Chains A and B, each alone.
Chain A
Amino acid sequence: MALKAYDKLKHAVRYWLLRTLPTCQQTVEKISQSMERSLTLKERINLRLHLWTCAWCQWYLEHLYLIRKTARAKADESSEFIPGAGLSNDARERIRRRLTNHN
């Protein structure tokens, strides 16, 4: 019984916060900026509270870091995995000629 009341209260608080805090559209912009600079105290509090109420923006944040981590882990070797053609025959021959003329 008490648990039910607690859940109801939690739900009401979350609902109220979602309506009061900056929207998801504003929050995703802050999430992106938080990866570039330190947010002000007010921005940090708003972001924390928004994330507490909104699973979607939580995932958004998680995905941005997942993309960053994946991309940076192999930055120098990324060509191993990036599909796509290598040099065209024309370009290869042009570069070869240029390198031979250099000698």
Chain B
Amino acid sequence: MHYSTGPRLPISMNEPQGKFPVESPDPGRWLDDHGDYLFRYAVFRLRDNTAAEDAVQETFLAALKAYKEFEGRGSERTWLVGILKHKIVDHFRRAVREAPLGEESDEGPEHREFFERSEPWQGHWRDNYAPNDWHATPAELIERSDFWKVFNDCLSPLPQRTASAFTLREVDGLKSEEICEILSIRVNNLWVMLHRARLHLRNCIELNWFKS
């Protein structure tokens, strides 16, 4: 048994509960305490190290400006993640303006090989690709960092925008309309992207997590 962060001090020995000192924002300490966490959060969604570094930097700069409004309400990390979310969405919007999605754009692999090509069972699952029983519940998977590694690695081969659409929808739970607006795509486009991402990810997780 070991404590990764050390035993916590009783609350009375820290700041007054739920309050941080208002007068002195300390960006250096923010960077030490939350820099890595925010970076991992951003890189998981943006799938690009440079973009994630920029988003983290912009978050701290915005946090310095907005410090007065924060006034020590709630957790510092939650507050910073809230700002980072906006910076991530800003990045998607910018990226879309710089490289609009063409008609013939790549929405991800179709994975036709998952299904029989010829009669009598054309269009039905092929044995090697048919889903199996996972015998798993969300509660078992959530805290397994190796599951998240497989999850993350399985998203990597997808086109960036398809992976982004999938993360915005399935991890962050945004509505279809919001995602279409952010990525500047039509809803039919989004449905195709999500379908292909799910088809790919489900198979990849089964191969790399449940069968290995």
A interface, CB within 8 angstroms of B: 18-19, 23-26, 28-29, 32-33, 35-37, 56-57, 59-60, 62-64, 66-76, 78-84, 86-88, 91-92, 94-96, 98-100, 102-103
Contact = CB atoms under 8 A, between A and B. Distances in A.
A102 B170 contact: no
Nearest to A32: B195
Contacts of B120: 19
Chain A at the B interface: SS class? helix
Contacts of B147: 70, 81
Interface of B: 27-28, 31, 35-41, 43-44, 49, 53, 56-57, 60-61, 64, 78, 81, 112, 114-115, 120, 122-125, 130-134, 136-138, 141-149, 151-152, 170-173, 176, 190-191, 194-195, 198-199, 201-202, 205-206
Contacts of B151: 67, 71
Contacts of B134: 59, 62-63, 66
19 contacts: A24-B115, A25-B114, A25-B124, A36-B194, A37-B176, A63-B202, A75-B172, A78-B148, A79-B40, A79-B44, A81-B143, A81-B147, A82-B40, A87-B35, A87-B36, A88-B49, A91-B53, A95-B57, A96-B28
Contact of B124 (A24, A33, A94): A24
B64 A102 contact: yes
A35 B28 CA distance: 43
Contacts, number: 157
Nearest to A99: B27
Given A71-B170, A82-B40, A99-B28, A25 B123 contact: yes
Given A56-B125, A78-B41, A99 B131 contact: no
B131 A63 contact: yes
A79 B61 contact: no
B39 A81 contact: no
A74 B144 CA distance: 12
